[in-house]
Amino acid sequence: MKPNETKAHITKPAATILVVDDNPINLKLVSDLLAFEGYRVLKAEDGEQAAASVEVEPPDLILLDVDLPGIDGLTLTKRLKSDVRTGYIIIVALTAFAMKADRQRAMAAGCDAYVTKPIDTRGLPGQVAQLLQRRGIGKN
């Protein structure tokens, strides 16, 4: 290598995150926050859209509102976790319910983590990065 040359920095492709929330403000907030952090963000407004999106392009992580119209978040989590094609996907429950029993229900359904609303915009990117890094997925 010549004195002024530097090694090419090879970066991993950005992790893909599916954000599922029927509240358009929450959907935009979380999606924009994660896109700003460099993640590739997919969006869905309900459980049916989320399931269809996962079929087409399985994400690395799903931020999933628990209280959705149609297929609720916990039902979708059980479905995804029981399928060998999607069981590896990290699923984080997003909910306004902050009781201990709600957390236990989410974890029993197969969620890997639990985040309460309102979203902590300063803490969420770090939580997401930590979950992805545990699986060897993430930014360099």
Amino acid 117: pLDDT: 87
Give the CATH number of domain 16-134; options: 3.40.50.720, 3.40.50.2300, 3.40.50.970, 3.30.565.10. Answer: 3.40.50.2300
Query: Whole-structure pTM over 0.85, yes or no?
Result: yes
Amino acid 13: pLDDT: 64
Average pLDDT over residues 3-10: 47
Residue in this structure with the two tokens 């902590």, named with its chain if needed: 120
Amino acid 12: pLDDT: 55
Is the confidence at residue 63, as pLDDT, over 60? yes
Give the pLDDT confidence of 80-98 residue by residue, as tens digits.
Answer: 999 999 999 999 999 887 6
Identify whether the C-beta of residue 43 lies closer than 8 Å to the C-beta of residue 27.
yes
Average pLDDT over residues 14-29: 96
Q: Which strand (E) or helix (H) includes residue 47?
A: helix 47-56
Identify whether the C-beta of residue 86 lies closer than 8 Å to the C-beta of residue 67.
no
Domain spans of the chain, in order of start? 16-134
Residue 4 token pair: 């002024």
